């Protein structure tokens, strides 16, 4: 398919995550009001558990503000409490049965998939609800137009290139006056699906031999917590560079590098259009008939068409295909039905730094949501 247990445990989760999203959310994590309150969705049957718990990816936190506000307005008395903490936290909380569903920028696999199946007593599904580009944000005074290739980024984030006037950077930016300034790498300190996706991109684009995974393997730089931590650290740090979800680059007014690909030697700027073009060319790894909708992102990282931005991640909601109790199943289905509705996959979502789901994909996703038992 082409894409055109206890109360104590839950209380502890909420206290440590400290991000509650509901109709009264102030969107403080992002620091602005771009993720505007959404309106009620028509023709939704409000059923099941009313106080849902979820945690995980900070890359989707701003989208969750939109979705949870619409959820509360669509179904009065219903609420989602979403704790951030990163994708690793989301996987851990979900597999330990502390949450009703979890958010992750990487699909469940290996031991995590096995742990999720044990928790669910059924197959756990990965449902990609939010697509977000990863920006390569930087702070170099006087440099407003910068293009970087995958191999050069691999050397920067691997510690081989340590100064902004390095010949490799200069060769990709003819005519740009690059300062004699040390490079300060900023990365995600905790386990993060954003890190996993970024390292997968570096591997595919060439020059990165440090492996992928949710832990940053570069061996250089300073780690910050979550997308908010990385986004807020780049601006005050002269000579810094980091990878961060698009919304946080925008909200912190950060400069973003164009990414050089085989199809675009001058680089591709990150826009809704360039990210949408990337998604249009993606396929499902498990085939069109599977409700476990893992995206084959290999086509993202090395585009075959001009104008496609190569660093895009899919943020998944990890759910049980068959929940132990019907109330939870129906509550999760209600929330996801609201979140995937066309009116919540439009301009508000784009304004918050995400790429709305193409229509064909919305239809497929809604079928998988309906199949949850």
Write down the domain spans for the chain.
7-132+286-294+314-370, 134-277
User: Binding site residues, as ranges?
Assistant: 57-59, 87, 105, 192-194
Q: How far apart are CA 132 and CA 59, in angstroms?
A: 7
User: In order along the chain (373 residues), what is the average pLDDT of each group of 10 residues?
Assistant: 39 36 35 54 96 94 94 97 92 98 94 98 96 95 97 98 98 97 97 92 95 96 95 97 94 97 97 88 88 90 92 94 97 98 90 85 94 98
- C-alpha 207: how far from chain center: 24
- Same-fold call for 7-132+286-294+314-370 versus 134-277: yes
48 Cβ neighbours under 8 A, 6+ residues apart: 326, 327, 328, 329, 330, 331, 332, 333, 334
pLDDT of residue 306: 95
Residue-level pLDDT at 219: 97
User: What letter does residue 163 receive in the DSSP assignment?
Assistant: B
Q: Give the distance, in angstroms, between the CA of residue 96 and the centroid of all CA atoms in the same chain.
A: 22
Instruction: List the beta bridge partners of residue 318.
Output: 102, 126
Q: Is 187 helix (H, G, I), strand (E, B) or coil?
A: strand
Nearest to residue 318, comparing CAs of 17, 55, 7?
55
Q: Quick one: pLDDT at residue 38?
A: 67
pLDDT at 37: 52
Output the pLDDT for position 6. 34
Which residues lie closer than 8 Å to 59 by C-beta, 6 or more apart? 105, 130, 132, 193, 194, 227, 245, 313, 315
Q: Which residues are annotated as a binding site for phosphate?
A: 57-59, 87, 105, 192-194
Helix, strand or coil, per DSSP, at residue 157: helix
Closest by CA position to 269, among listed 146, 180, 353: 146
CATH of segment(s) 134-277: 3.40.190.10
**What is the reported pLDDT for 347?**
87
Q: Which of 153, 129, 270 is nearest to 201 (CA)?
A: 153
Question: What are 240's two structure tokens?
Answer: 């810094």
Largest CA distance in the chain: 63
Is CATH 3.40.190.10 the classification given to domain 7-132+286-294+314-370? yes
């Amino acid at each position: 398919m082409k894409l055109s247990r206890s109360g104590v445990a839950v209380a502890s989760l909420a206290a440590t995550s400290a991000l509650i999203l509901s109709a009264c959310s102030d969107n403080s994590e992002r620091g602005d009001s771009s993720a505007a309150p959404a309106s009620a969705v028509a023709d939704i049957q409000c059923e099941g558990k009313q106080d849902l718990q979820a945690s995980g990816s900070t890359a989707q936190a701003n989208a969750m503000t939109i979705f949870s506000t619409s959820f509360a307005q669509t179904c009065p008395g219903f609420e989602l409490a979403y704790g951030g903490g990163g994708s690793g936290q989301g996987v851990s909380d979900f597999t330990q049965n502390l949450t009703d569903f979890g958010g992750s920028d990487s699909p469940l696999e290996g031991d995590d998939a096995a742990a999720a199946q044990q928790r669910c007593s059924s197959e756990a599904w990965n449902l990609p609800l939010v697509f977000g580009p990863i920006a390569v944000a930087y702070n170099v005074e006087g440099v407003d137009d910068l293009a970087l290739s995958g191999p050069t980024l691999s050397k920067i984030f691997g510690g081989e290139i340590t100064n902004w006037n390095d010949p490799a950077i200069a060769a990709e930016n003819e005519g740009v006056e690059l300062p004699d300034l040390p490079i300060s790498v900023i990365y995600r300190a905790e386990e993060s699906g954003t890190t996993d996706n970024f390292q997968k991109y570096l591997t595919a684009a060439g020059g990165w031999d440090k492996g992928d995974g949710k832990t940053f393997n570069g061996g250089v730089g300073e780690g910050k917590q979550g997308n908010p931590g990385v986004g807020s650290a780049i601006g005050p740090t002269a000579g810094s560079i980091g990878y961060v979800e698009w919304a946080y680059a925008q909200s912190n007014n950060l400069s973003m590098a164009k990414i050089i690909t085989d199809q675009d030697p001058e680089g591709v700027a990150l826009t809704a259009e360039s990210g949408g073009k990337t998604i249009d060319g993606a396929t499902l790894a498990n085939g069109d008939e599977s409700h476990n909708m893992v995206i084959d992102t290999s086509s993202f990282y090395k585009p075959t068409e001009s104008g496609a931005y190569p660093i895009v991640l899919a943020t998944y909601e990890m759910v049980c295909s068959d929940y132990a109790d019907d109330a939870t199943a129906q509550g999760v289905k209600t929330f996801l039905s609201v979140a995937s509705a066309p009116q919540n996959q439009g301009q508000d979502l784009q304004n918050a730094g995400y790429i709305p789901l193409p229509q064909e994909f919305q239809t497929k996703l809604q079928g998988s949501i309906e199949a949850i038992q």
